[in-house]
Amino acid sequence: MTTTLRRGVPGGAEERVAELYWEAFGAKLGAALGPAGAGRGFIAAHLHHDRAVTALDDTGRVVGVAGYQLAGRGLVGGDAAAVRAAYGQVRGLYRVFLLALLERTPARGELVMDGIAVDPAARGLGIGGLLLGEIDAVAAEQHCRRVRLDVVAENPRARALYERHGYREVAVRRTPWLRDVLGFGAVTTMHKAVTA
């Protein structure tokens, strides 16, 4: 399979990107955006197309996506009003609170990785590494000094990928109170310096 990288989410691929994102992060996002169909629909409807790098296969199908936050916007948008409109006023309020727990704001000179998702059938082919390399290029073009990401303790495969590509642990936050709600009990923050 030949993989082509593309900046942004291709038009018409919103549902596919939402599917990949949900497959990778549904356990974490389920309490806030579930059930799965509603969550995928919300993500697809609120994508910021310019805040992603995508990997496409020979047929043009998206097989990987890496989202990022920069200048106040990440891959998945949708403010509190959009959440309440989609899920109702009362249920939406609780969901807004849960989403706020997951929010990560970039520091000055920092690009924040918003998650990486690769089609399970395409894993092990180096797509994750290609996406990370393109995220590095975006960060350099935007004159960022570093890329930051958070990885949950329950995802050692992702952490190993990040470490292979130069990310280093800088902090661990224990979050045992979130284990029952969001499915993880610790978050590791990792940084990678950006080179021109």
The answer as to whether 160 is a domain residue is no
Q: What is the mean pLDDT of residues 49-65?
A: 97
Helix/strand/coil percent split, the chain, to 5: 45, 25, 30
Classify 126 in phi/psi space as left (phi over 0), alpha (psi -120 to 50) or beta.
Answer: left
How many residues are listed for the chain in this entry?
196
What is the per-residue pLDDT for 23?
95
Higher per-residue confidence, 154 vs 180: 154
Is the pLDDT reported for residue 93 higher than 80?
yes
Is the pLDDT reported for residue 95 higher than 70?
yes
Q: What is the mean pLDDT of residues 51-72?
A: 96
Q: Whole-angstrom Cα distance, residue 16 to residue 18?
A: 5
Domain count within the chain: 1
Looking up residue 10, the CATH number of its domain turns out to be 3.40.630.30
Confidence category of residue 181, pLDDT binned at 50, 70, 90: low
Is the pLDDT reported for residue 176 higher than 90?
no
What is the per-residue pLDDT for 106?
87
The answer as to whether 47 is a domain residue is yes
Structural domain containing residue 29: 4-144
The answer as to whether 31 is a domain residue is yes
Is the pLDDT reported for residue 128 higher than 70?
yes
What is the per-residue pLDDT for 119?
97
Confidence category of residue 112, pLDDT binned at 50, 70, 90: very high
For 171, list phi and psi in degrees, rounded to 5: -165, 150
Residue 83 CB partners (closer than 8 Å, separation 6+)? 42, 92, 95, 96, 99
Higher per-residue confidence, 173 vs 136: 136
Q: What are the CA-CA distances from residue 89 to residues 23, 95, 181 (Å)?
A: 27, 10, 20
The answer as to whether 137 is a domain residue is yes
Higher per-residue confidence, 157 vs 111: 111
The reported pTM is 0.91
Mean pLDDT of the chain: 92
pLDDT tens per residue across span 75-91: 999 999 999 999 999 88
Token pair for residue 29?
């996002």
The answer as to whether 188 is a domain residue is no
The answer as to whether 108 is a domain residue is yes
Inter-residue contact 128 to 118 (CB < 8 Å): yes
Is the pLDDT reported for residue 194 higher than 90?
yes
The answer as to whether 176 is a domain residue is no
Q: Whole-angstrom Cα distance, residue 129 to residue 135?
A: 10
Q: How many helices (H) and strands (E) would you count in the chain?
A: 7, 7
Helix (H) or strand (E) holding 128: helix 127-141
Is the pLDDT reported for residue 103 higher than 90?
no
What is the per-residue pLDDT for 155?
82
The answer as to whether 110 is a domain residue is yes
